[in-house]
């Protein structure tokens, strides 16, 4: 690596392994927000940040922020989340904190003084596992937090407000966390791909074009239940038959629409007996696309198809959209800087879409965003066997540092 013979990738892997051991008992990594494991992770990352010349501070939303002053105006932001899903992996989220900290350390070794300040952020809660909300830390930075979420409670009845207070934070001060848009230069999030594209292409790194928009629909088919042996087939109003036709159409439509990903991941059948005709079926349909218009058109098409199926089978259908999040395109200038950095490191500069939501999607309300994907073995994520090679981690550190150098020279 430029400026040092240090094996930065191996050092990153060592840090990530140490952080993976900060976990609740059980397989993989379980590190929920505002608990003892979160506290230990903050302590570890605080020392890492200090070692890279950053000044760390815990904000009102329990995000740890390491800041390095620059030689001019404005601040460039980097980071990701420290929390995990239950029995998750050692790389999702947390690699996006460790790698930019190490990139700042690499620049310090090289004696580079950037003409802007840099803040590296370790957000508390991106996964939304403990509380029925997510992205609170990144939304706080963007100034878009709905303060009503503070009253949400976890399964033990502890409110988000109480959890933050127990962590030593002042939740009422969250609005003060918001950054000045006029001074926000951009945001870079490094993250394992969570998919197989980079591995298939033989590339260590990829540059994200945008984060997919998401919408979810709740569908309820209602028919008539009855005895499975006595209700004639021609007289049935089988809610599951209608639902099954919609499931097949969801799959067909997604395969026929470029960039659309559609999933029915849950089906609730009532009465749910082997010898009873299904009288009611509840199921969600989730749609994702980087093209908001295509996603919304697909949602309308599914609702129309479902209504037609219900009419054909003598069912009733209640369909409503329960959630919508617009796509977050990555900034062309920052994308170009990342592509150039990846190519300077020997990669192709492959560009791809993110089908998962990240903190970057919330930061998009503050400033231009960018994302760097890192190859992960088998495309696996949110599992104990999640893995990225140390060489790929080192390539990411170099690319982040090169991107910052490039932005400084622009």
User: Domain check: are 133 and 184 in the same one?
Assistant: yes
Based on the structure, what is the number of domains in the chain? 2
Query: What is the per-residue pLDDT across 116-175, written as a single tens digit (0 to 9) for each?
Result: 999 999 999 999 999 989 899 999 999 999 999 999 999 999 999 999 999 999 999 999
Q: Are 50 and 129 in contact (CB under 8 A)?
A: no
User: Domain check: are 299 and 340 in the same one?
Assistant: no
3-state secondary structure of 190: strand
User: Domain check: are 234 and 364 in the same one?
Assistant: no
Q: Say how far apart CA 193 and CA 389 lie, in whole Å.
A: 13
66 is a domain residue: yes
User: Domain check: are 202 and 247 in the same one?
Assistant: no
Query: What is the per-residue pLDDT across 337-350, written as a single tens digit (0 to 9) for each?
Result: 999 999 999 999 99
Task: Tell me which of 271, 303, 325 is where a domain ends.
Answer: 325
2 is a domain residue: no
Task: Tell me which of 293, 325, 357 is where a domain ends.
Answer: 325
Comparing CA positions, the residue from 147, 41, 36 lying closest to residue 94 is 41
User: Domain check: are 248 and 123 in the same one?
Assistant: no
Q: What is the pLDDT of residue 189?
A: 98
Encoding tokens for residue 1?
């690596």
Query: What is the per-residue pLDDT across 13-65, written as a single tens digit (0 to 9) for each?
Result: 999 999 999 999 999 999 999 999 999 999 999 999 999 999 999 999 999 99
Name the helix (H) or strand (E) containing 98: helix 95-110
CATH of the domain at 232: 3.30.70.360
Q: What is the pLDDT of residue 71?
A: 83
Q: What is the pLDDT of residue 72?
A: 83
pTM: 0.88
Average pLDDT over the chain, rounded to an integer: 96
Residue span of the structural domain in which 347 resides? 8-211+327-409
Distances from the Cα of 364 to the Cαs of 221, 274, 341, 373, in angstroms? 37, 49, 22, 17
In this structure, what is the dihedral angle of CA atoms 394, 89, 360, 329, given to the nearest 10 degrees?
Answer: 80
Query: Does the pLDDT of residue 379 top 60, yes or no?
Result: yes
CATH of the domain at 115: 3.40.630.10
Q: What is the pLDDT of residue 246?
A: 98
User: Domain check: are 22 and 168 in the same one?
Assistant: yes
Distances from the Cα of 201 to the Cαs of 62, 205, 354, in angstroms? 38, 10, 16
Percent of the chain with pLDDT over 70: 99
User: Domain check: are 221 and 355 in the same one?
Assistant: no
15 is a domain residue: yes
């Amino acid at each position: 690596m430029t400026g040092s013979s240090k094996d930065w990738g191996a050092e990153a892997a060592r840090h990530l392994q140490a952080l993976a051991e900060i976990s609740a008992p059980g397989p993989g990594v379980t590190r929920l927000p505002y608990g003892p494991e979160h506290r230990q992770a903050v302590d570890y990352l605080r020392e890492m940040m200090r070692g890279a010349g950053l000044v760390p501070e815990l904000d009102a939303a329990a995000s740890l922020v390491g800041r390095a002053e620059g030689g001019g105006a404005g601040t460039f932001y980097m980071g990701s989340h420290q929390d995990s899903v239950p029995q998750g992996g050692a790389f999702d989220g947390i690699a996006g904190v460790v790698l930019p900290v190490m990139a700042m350390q690499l620049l310090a070794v090289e004696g580079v003084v950037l003409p802007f300040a840099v803040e590296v952020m370790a957000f508390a809660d991106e996964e939304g596992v403990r509380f029925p909300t997510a992205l609170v830390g990144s939304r706080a930075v963007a100034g878009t937090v709905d303060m009503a979420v503070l009253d949400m409670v976890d399964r033990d009845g502890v409110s988000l407000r109480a959890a933050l207070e127990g962590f030593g934070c002042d939740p009422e001060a969250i609005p003060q966390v918001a950054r000045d848009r006029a001074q926000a230069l951009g945001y870079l999030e490094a993250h394992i791909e969570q998919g197989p594209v980079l591995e298939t292409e033989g590339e260590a790194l990829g540059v994200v074009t945008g984060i997919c928009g998401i919408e979810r629909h709740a569908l309820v088919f209602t028919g008539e239940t009855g005895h499975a042996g006595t209700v004639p087939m021609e007289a049935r109003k089988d809610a599951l038959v209608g639902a099954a036709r919609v499931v097949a159409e969801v799959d067909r439509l997604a395969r026929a629409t470029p960039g659309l990903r559609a999933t029915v991941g849950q089906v609730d059948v009532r009465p749910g007996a082997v010898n009873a005709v299904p009288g009611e079926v509840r199921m969600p349909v989730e749609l994702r696309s980087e093209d908001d218009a295509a996603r919304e058109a697909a949602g309308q098409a599914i609702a129309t198809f479902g209504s037609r199926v219900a009419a054909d089978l003598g069912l009733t259908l209640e369909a409503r959209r329960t959630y919508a999040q617009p796509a977050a395109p990555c900034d062309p200038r920052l994308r170009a800087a990342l592509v150039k950095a990846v190519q300077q490191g020997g990669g192709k500069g492959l560009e791809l879409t993110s089908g998962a939501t990240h903190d970057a999607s919330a930061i998009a309300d503050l400033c231009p965003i960018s994302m760097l994907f890192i190859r992960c073995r088998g495309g696996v994520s949110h599992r104990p066997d999640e893995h990225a090679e140390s060489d790929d981690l080192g390539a990411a550190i170099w690319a982040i540092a090169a991107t910052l150098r490039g932005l400084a020279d622009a």
